[in-house]
Amino acid sequence: MSNAVQVKNLSKSFKIPHEKLETLRGSFVSIFKRKTHETFKALDNISFSIKKGEFFGILGRNGSGKSTLLKILASIYEPDKGSVKINGQISPFLELGVGFNPELSGRDNIHLNAAILGLTPDQIKRKFDQIVAFSELERFLDQKLKNYSSGMQVRLAFSVAIHADKDILLMDEVLAVGDSNFQKKCLDEFNKYRRAGKTVILVTHDTDIVKKYCDQALLLRKGRIKTMGSARQTANEYIFQNMSDEEKRLFEQVESQENQRNQLSPGKSGWLKDIAKIKKIEFLNPKGKSQKAFQTGDDIIIRLHYQTRQPIEKPVFGVSLDAGDGTHIVGPNTQKSSRAPKLIDGSGFVDLVIKENPLNLGLYFVTAGLFNKDNTLTYDFKSKKHSFKIITIDESQDGPIKINFYWKEKQ
């Protein structure tokens, strides 16, 4: 059998009572009331399999069902429907050291944690020195755990978990606490694990780790599998999912700011829009198909649809492009362009064509404005209301733009 984990049509829901009945009195009283509870579907018909020796990532936002899935894999929770087949022994690592006791010394905690993870006294005796060496905590071994930093606790916990030497290692979001040095050490250890034909399942928010180390990954959203496949592809999908949520948030923010402004000066808003306005902003590919995501190097057409009540001579259209973090990239306008419209009347559109865009992976906001010929009058101004995404295959560069470069060495 080559599958380490096989999950079929797995569903799990939780009943969340509107008022938690924790006392007898509460439940006596509630006999006479209609019981109300919501059913929360934490996992909804999920199927996937993980091969032996695979480094598998599980991505998802808070509340997407990640932890529930992990707890079912670790058989802490019982599934409602579906089946979970685990081929081999699991070493679950859902928190900093299961059963760690702050009042005990590091040494006692190693014994305790190892016993909980199912090591026999013999195994513990044999591996004790290795565990201590890996954690690099020799000097602190007889101090109480409560005097350890959280990073030190993770190191200790991780060392025990990795030396439990089970077939499947289940890891929940713990690497975040260690310093980068130790993180690297852990990940190298994962790789060793994998080479030994063992399976590592990692739940994380860190898309970089997923891209770098995982073979396959799964993205959960609201209890369902959104994407499953290569780690890179899944991680990118997760980045975009977060971006579009971020986009929504920013959009709402801008909207409410604008509303506030309108409320503050009701007379001023809109009167110029009666003369001319930007009705719509579209992003198109060279074939004229509207889309929201492009790849680095694609041609991008930003189309501004306008409408006027009266003819406007030599109007100025301007577009500003900003990166998701607010960095201003570029702001072309039609004032000095030879192809600028001479006169607009009624409705129509102008296109800003970006040839072979140099933008890097990320979300970009577009601000568009329509002004009179000397730029003294603003007809319409749409600030960061629209955005598009850039997907990129080569992720060797960071920052908002990509340049063509190479290194040359003087012989």
Q: Does 147 bind another protein (CB under 8 A)?
A: no
Would you tell me the crossing angle of helices 180-195 and 150-163 to the nearest 10 degrees?
10
Q: Least distance to another protein from the beta carbon of 133, Å?
A: 22
Residue closer to another protein by CB (options 79, 369) is 79
Helix (H, G, I), strand (E, B) or coil at 175: coil
Q: Least distance to another protein from the beta carbon of 247, Å?
A: 36
Q: Least distance to another protein from the beta carbon of 150, Å?
A: 16
User: Which residue in the set 9, 16, 27, 133 belongs to the binding site for another protein (CB under 8 A)?
Assistant: 27
d(CA 372, CA 276): 10
Residue closer to another protein by CB (options 164, 361) is 164
Strand-strand pairing, 55-60 and 199-203? parallel
Cα of first residue to Cα of last residue in the chain, in angstroms, is 55
Q: Count CB neighbours of 406 within 10 A.
A: 4
Q: Least distance to another protein from the beta carbon of 16, Å?
A: 12
Quick one: tokens of 124?
């513990």
Residue closer to another protein by CB (options 71, 277) is 71
Quick one: tokens of 393?
């295959």
Q: Least distance to another protein from the beta carbon of 75, Å?
A: 4
Q: Least distance to another protein from the beta carbon of 72, Å?
A: 10
Residue closer to another protein by CB (options 13, 269) is 13
- Any idea what DSSP says for residue 314? S
Q: At which residue do the structure tokens 């609201």 appear? A: 222
Q: Count CB neighbours of 88 within 10 A.
A: 14
Q: Does 25 bind another protein (CB under 8 A)?
A: yes
Residue closer to another protein by CB (options 72, 352) is 72
**Number of residues this chain uses to bind another protein (CB under 8 A):** 31
* Binding track, positions 102-131, relative to another protein; x by CB under 8 A: -xx---x--xx--xxxxxxx----------
User: Which residue in the set 84, 98, 284, 329 belongs to the binding site for another protein (CB under 8 A)?
Assistant: 98
Contacts (CB under 8 A) with another protein, residues 310-329: none
Helix (H, G, I), strand (E, B) or coil at 143: coil
Residue closer to another protein by CB (options 80, 189) is 80
Q: Least distance to another protein from the beta carbon of 15, Å?
A: 10
Please enumerate in sequence order all residues whose Cβ is within 8 A of that of 69, keeping only pairs 6 or more positions apart, or say none. Answer: 10, 43, 46, 58, 220
Q: Least distance to another protein from the beta carbon of 120, Å?
A: 6
Quick one: tokens of 360?
């890097």
Q: Count CB neighbours of 96 within 10 A.
A: 18
Residue closer to another protein by CB (options 76, 343) is 76
Q: Least distance to another protein from the beta carbon of 399, Å?
A: 41
Residue closer to another protein by CB (options 1, 24) is 24
d(CA 399, CA 190): 30
* Binding track, positions 58-97, relative to another protein; x by CB under 8 A: -------------x--xxxxx-------------x-xx--
Give me the DSSP letters along 56-118.
EEEEE-TTSSHHHHHHHHTTSS--SEEEEEE-S-EEEE-SSSTT--TTSBHHHHHHHHHHHTT
Triad 47, 49, 50: Cα angle to 5°:
150
Percentages of the chain per state (helix, strand, coil), in multiples of 5: 30, 35, 35
Q: Least distance to another protein from the beta carbon of 391, Å?
A: 38
Span near another protein by CB under 8 A; candidates 47-55, 101-109, 277-285, 338-346: 101-109
Q: Which of 389, 387, 396, 410 is nearest to 320 (CA)?
A: 387
Strand-strand pairing, 37-51 and 3-17? antiparallel
Q: Does 348 bind another protein (CB under 8 A)?
A: no
CA count, 13 A, side-chain hemisphere, 254: 16
Helix (H, G, I), strand (E, B) or coil at 317: strand
Q: Least distance to another protein from the beta carbon of 114, Å?
A: 9
Q: Does 22 bind another protein (CB under 8 A)?
A: yes
Q: Does 171 bind another protein (CB under 8 A)?
A: no
Interface positions with another protein (CB under 8 A): 14, 21-25, 27, 71, 74-78, 92, 94-95, 98-99, 101, 103-104, 108, 111-112, 115-121
